[in-house]
Structure 1
Amino acid sequence: MINKLACKITYYIENNSDIKSISDLEKITYSLQAIFNELFKTVILIAIFFIIGKLDYFLFSMMILFSIRIFAGGYHCSTTISCLFFSILFFLPTSLLSGFLPKLNMVFYYVIALLSILVILFRSPYPNKKRPIKSKKRRQILKFLSIFFTISWLCILLLYIKDISYLNCGFSTILLEVSQLIPKKKGVF
Structure 2
Amino acid sequence: MNGMINRIVEISVRNRIINEEDIEITKYGLESIFLHMISTTLLILLGIFFRRIDIAIIYLMVLILLRKNTGGYHCKTFLACVFTTSIGLLFIIITNNIIGEYWKELIGILFILYSMIKIYMSDPILNKNRMVSDTVVEKCKKTKNKWLLILVCISLIFHFLVKLQLLNSYDYFYAITSSLMIVALSINNLRRENHEKTNKDGIGVH
TM surpasses 0.5: yes
Report the Cα offset of residue 83 of structure 1. 1.5
Partner SS, residue 96 of structure 1 = helix
Q: 2:178 aligns with which of 163, 172, 179?
A: 172
Report the Cα offset of residue 152 of structure 1. 0.6
Residue of structure 2 equivalent to 1:124: 123
1:49 corresponds to 2:47: yes
Report the Cα offset of residue 177 of structure 1. 0.9
Partner Cα distance (2:14, 2:131) in 1: 30
Residue of structure 2 equivalent to 1:69: 67
Report the Cα offset of residue 171 of structure 1. 0.5
Is the Cα contact below 8 Å between 1:45 and 1:88 reproduced in 2? Answer: yes
Partner Cα distance (2:151, 2:182) in 1: 14
Whichever residue aligns with residue 57 of structure 1, its letter is: I
Q: 1:183 aligns with which of 185, 189, 192?
A: 189
CA RMSD for the aligned pairs? Answer: 2.7
Gaps of 5+ in 2: 162-168, 191-205
Of stretches 105-114 and 72-81 in structure 1, the one that deviates more from structure 2 is: 105-114
Report the TM-score, using the length of structure 2 for normalisation.
0.74
Deviations 1:21-40 (A, max 9, x none): x3312211221122113322
Residue of structure 2 equivalent to 1:153: 151
Report the Cα offset of residue 85 of structure 1. 1.8
Of stretches 159-168 and 68-77 in structure 1, the one that deviates more from structure 2 is: 159-168
Partner Cα distance (2:47, 2:109) in 1: 29
Partner Cα distance (1:108, 1:95) in 2: 14
Partner Cα distance (2:76, 2:157) in 1: 38
Partner SS, residue 121 of structure 2 = helix
Partner Cα distance (2:185, 2:129) in 1: 20
State, as a whole percentage, how many aligned pairs show the same letter.
21
Residue of structure 2 equivalent to 1:12: 11
Partner Cα distance (1:154, 1:89) in 2: 23
Is the Cα contact below 8 Å between 1:124 and 1:143 reproduced in 2? Answer: yes
Whichever residue aligns with residue 13 of structure 2, its letter is: E
Q: CA 1:108–1:57 in structure 2 vs 1: closer, same or farther (change >3 Å)?
A: closer
Counterparts of residues 94-109 of structure 1 (less than 5 Å): 94-101=92-99, 102-103=101-102
Partner Cα distance (2:154, 2:78) in 1: 32
Give the number of equivalent residue pairs. Answer: 182
Counterparts of residues 3-42 of structure 1 (less than 5 Å): 3-17=2-16, 19-20=18-19, 22-42=20-40
Is the Cα contact below 8 Å between 1:65 and 1:173 reproduced in 2? Answer: yes
Whichever residue aligns with residue 32 of structure 2, its letter is: A
Q: CA 1:182–1:98 in structure 2 vs 1: closer, same or farther (change >3 Å)?
A: farther
Residue of structure 2 equivalent to 1:136: 134
Q: CA 1:145–1:108 in structure 2 vs 1: closer, same or farther (change >3 Å)?
A: same
Deviations 1:37-62 (A, max 9, x none): 33223323332332222222112111
1:91 corresponds to 2:97: no
Report the TM-score, using the length of structure 1 for normalisation.
0.80
